Structure 1
């Protein structure tokens, strides 16, 4: 099953749109992230898994592939944790497949908490979606550019 969410990454001080695609399939369990992620994005595998399990959801024992598009755009920081986790939950059937168009950014703690990320204003400006899910601490700044689409 495939889930697609909108997010963003920072290039300098500019927010750039990123599409997070999560595919969950039968096969040997594994978790890979492709699409030019930096070290902190690759570490998202561990943060996302721990956060999902700590939140009481089930980790799917299946093959999980995350694509961060566009492939030629370098992705940096931990702000893609939240959309990756939401995509894993949606693609594994733990969240409804018919959710509205959602954009998100935020770092996940191992306890499942959502932490703020640098650059909330340009990230919120770059994220597409009917709703934009952000860390509570970043919500006020995000509403300046994304208005009533923001949900902490």
Structure 2
């Protein structure tokens, strides 16, 4: 099954949109990330696997392929842990998105600890500014620690959370987040 999640990354002093495609399918168990990722992004495999398990979900015993597009844009840092994890949960059916949400209006940015805690990342202000110009009204889901920085920009709904399980509950419509 395929899931597409939107994210963003800094590129110099600006930000760019990144589409995180997660495909879970038949094949020997493997977890591969493609799309010009640096070492920190490659290391997301272990952080995401542990965060999913330690948040009460199952990591699939199938082939997991993650594509970070556009491929020409170098992806750095741990910003993509959160969208990759949510993509895995959606692709495996462990997370059902509430009807009030549209994946085309959700942007996820954040590092995950092995326990599933959402950690702050750098560059939220340019990312929020980019979204206010390109995707006005979009929701930016990130760590609680980054929420105040993102909220400085008008035109973006910012939701800060402490844990992957909270984000899953929010996206499933089980809890209400306050922008």
TM-score of the superposed pair, with normalisation by structure 1: 0.93
Per-residue CA deviation, residues 41-72 of structure 1 (Å, 9 max, x unaligned), is 00000000010011110011111000000000
| Structure 1 unaligned residues grouped into runs of 5+ | none
Look up the match of 2:80.
80
Q: Work out whether residues 128 and 156 of structure 2, in 8 Å CA contact, stay in contact via their aligned partners in 1.
A: no
- Provide the rounded CA distance (Å) in 1 between the counterparts of 2:8 and 2:115: 23
Structure of larger gyration radius: 2
Question: Which sits farther off after the overlay, 112-121 or 139-148?
Answer: 139-148
Map 1:59-138; keep pairs closer than 5 Å. Answer: 59-96=59-96, 99-101=101-103, 102-127=106-131, 128=135, 130-138=138-146
C-alpha distance 69-111 of structure 1, shift in aligned 2 (>3 A): same
Matched pairs, number: 152
Q: Work out whether residues 6 and 20 of structure 2, in 8 Å CA contact, stay in contact via their aligned partners in 1.
A: yes
Give the match's secondary structure for 1:19.
Answer: strand
CA drift at 1:146:
5.5
CA drift at 1:27:
1.3
| Structure 2 unaligned residues grouped into runs of 5+ | 161-179
Question: Which sits farther off after the overlay, 86-95 or 6-15?
Answer: 6-15
Map 1:19-38; keep pairs closer than 5 Å. Answer: 19-38=19-38
C-alpha distance 124-148 of structure 1, shift in aligned 2 (>3 A): closer
TM-score of the superposed pair, with normalisation by structure 2: 0.79
- Provide the rounded CA distance (Å) in 1 between the counterparts of 2:130 and 2:89: 23
- Provide the rounded CA distance (Å) in 2 between the counterparts of 1:20 and 1:121: 21
C-alpha distance 70-143 of structure 1, shift in aligned 2 (>3 A): same
Moved over 4 A (4+): none
- Provide the rounded CA distance (Å) in 1 between the counterparts of 2:78 and 2:121: 7
